[in-house]
Structures are given as structure tokens and as C-alpha cells.
Amino acid sequence: MADIPDYLIERSRERRQLLTGDTSGDAGGGAGDAAGVAATPAAATAAATAPATAPAVLAPQPVPAPIPEVPPPTPPSVLAALGRKRIPYWAMPVLLFLPIWAFLYVGTLESPTRGETGLIGNGEEVYTATAACSSCHASDGAGTNSGPQLSGGEMLLTFPETPDGLGLAQQIEWIVKGTNDTGVGRPYGATSRGDAGEGRVAGWFGEMPGFSGDLTAREVISVSLYERAVHNDSDTARTVAALVDEMTASGDIVLPESFPADITAEEIQALLAPIFGAAAMETESAES
């Protein structure tokens, strides 16, 4: 056991006297003194036993009660907050309509269902606005009294999807010429059209204006592909539209400013040949 320095023993004794108001603790202190002074094993044993008697003296002493803590004064800002009404009454209707407003707001964030992009998007613009094809054929292609139905595969019966692009070329020719430049009574489109396989003849329904002077070549191509892709669900038309965008951008094909009214389907087909070559390759690689 390490020696306890005298001054610690002295301090301990003074402290005990102060607490107990009793000098009988001097005996313990004395023993402690002895331990502090004497370094003999016997004295050390005495010192070890002495503290055992000390608690007996200290035990009855009441532990001073802890001073009760005074709660800090409530800050005025908190008092003001407690006194205030939680939600003002005028805010209730606003809060009630908040979910409805949120619902409507989210609705405006959704992209329009019919938003087409690229060449098909240009075609939609031509169909509904620039050339107003929709005024005779209806915006969904279902037809009106002024123009026959184009949707639901109808138009692909007249101008079929053919690997050589002839069907599309004939459709483009038709839109450029209309009823009069085709010539009333003259056939257009696939001859397999109709129950008897007689095909269409200009003037069968009415009179459609030609658009050679009103639309650019690109616009006629775009509206043709729009009708095929959107009104007739043709994936081929979407592929071809993407290729037209690509190949005109790269200069692989150069479109004329507009198609003259005396153009033939074969000339249009030749112009689009690189696209159908590429489309055929894409279809082949998709199938393999």
C-alpha cells in the first residue's frame, strides 16, 4: 500500500470533524496519522482496519438535501407562441383546397398524350394546322362528310407498307396531286384495294385539293408518315421517319424544296430509295 501523505490525512480529519461536529473521529485520524508516519507492515495493517470504523461514525449523519433547482424563467418568445392561436380560421379553406390544387397542379406537369417528336411531330403539325387535313379527315383520322376515313388501317389498304417504299411513294404522290391533278376517274394507290380488287379512282368520295404548291417536300413526307405511324399504328413508318431525319441531316438524301404537281410515284420512290435500303437492312438485322 502506498504511503498516504500527511497533509491528506490531516485534511480528511478536519473534514470529518466539520461534518460530524465531533472530535471522536480524532481516533481514526490518529490511526491514519500512524499509517502515514509509520511505514512498518504492522502500522499499515492498523491503517487498513481504521477506515472500517469510520463509516460507523459517519453513517447517522444526514446527507444534506440537494438544493432544488429553480426552473429558468420562460422566455417571452415562448410565452407569446403559447398564447397565439395555432392556425388562423381564414387559413382553413385554403388548407382544405390545398390537396385539390396539388392534384390539379400535378396534372399540368404530365406531358400531353399526343406529343410526337421529330418528323412525325412535324407531320402532326401539318395535319392539324398547316394544311388542316384534320378539317376533312378529322383529327384522329376517322373521317367526316368531307373526307374518307384514313385511320385504323384503312389508308394502308390504299397505300400499303411495301419493302420497296412504293406504297408510301404513291401516298405522297396522291397528297401532292389531290383529286384534280390525279384526274377524276383515274386509279390511284394499290389496285388490290376494295372487295373486287378494283382499287381507288379519283373522285370516288368527293374532291380533295392537291398540296404541291402549299407544302414543302419535307412537309408532305412528314404528314404521310404521321398518318401511317399515328392513325394506322405502323412501326415501319416510325423507322422510316427516323431515317428521313437522319439521312437528310447527314446529306445522304437531299429533298427538293417541293414536289411538282406532275411528279410520279416512281420518281418519289427513287428519291427515297436509300431510306428503304437502310430500313430493309434494319429489319433484317432485327430479325436475325
CA nearest 262: which of 191, 185, 182? 182
CB of 253 to ligand HEC, least distance (A): 21
> Residue 179 or 239: which CB sits closer to ligand HEC?
179
Least distance from ligand HEC to the Cβ atom of residue 257, Å = 17
Q: Whose Cβ is closer to ligand HEC: residue 34's or residue 138's?
A: 138
Residue 83, CA distances (Å) to 78, 79, 88 in order: 9, 6, 13
Shortest Å distance, C-beta 115 to ligand HEC: 20
Closest approach of Cβ 114 to ligand HEC, in Å?
17
Host H or E run for residue 187: strand 187-188
Q: How far is CA 94 from the centre of its chain?
A: 28
Shortest Å distance, C-beta 245 to ligand HEC: 19
* C-alpha span between 231 and 187 (Å, rounded): 23
Cβ neighbours for 277, distance < 8 A, ≥ 6 positions apart = none
The residue among 25 and 147 lying less far from ligand HEC, judged by its C-beta, is 147
Closest Cα partner for 26 from 17, 18, 34, 36?
17
Binding residues (CB under 6 A) for ligand HEC: these are 131-133, 135-137, 146-148, 150, 154-155, 158, 171, 174-175, 179, 200, 202-209, 211, 223, 227
Query: Residue 54 or 157: which CB sits closer to ligand HEC?
Result: 157
Residue 287 corresponds to which cell in the numbers above?
Answer: 430479325
Cβ distance to ligand HEC smaller for residue 44 or 136: 136
CA nearest 268: which of 217, 229, 227? 217
- Cα 141 to chain centroid, rounded: 32
Please report how close the Cβ of residue 140 comes to ligand HEC at its closest, in angstroms: 14
Calpha distance 206→218 (Å, rounded): 26
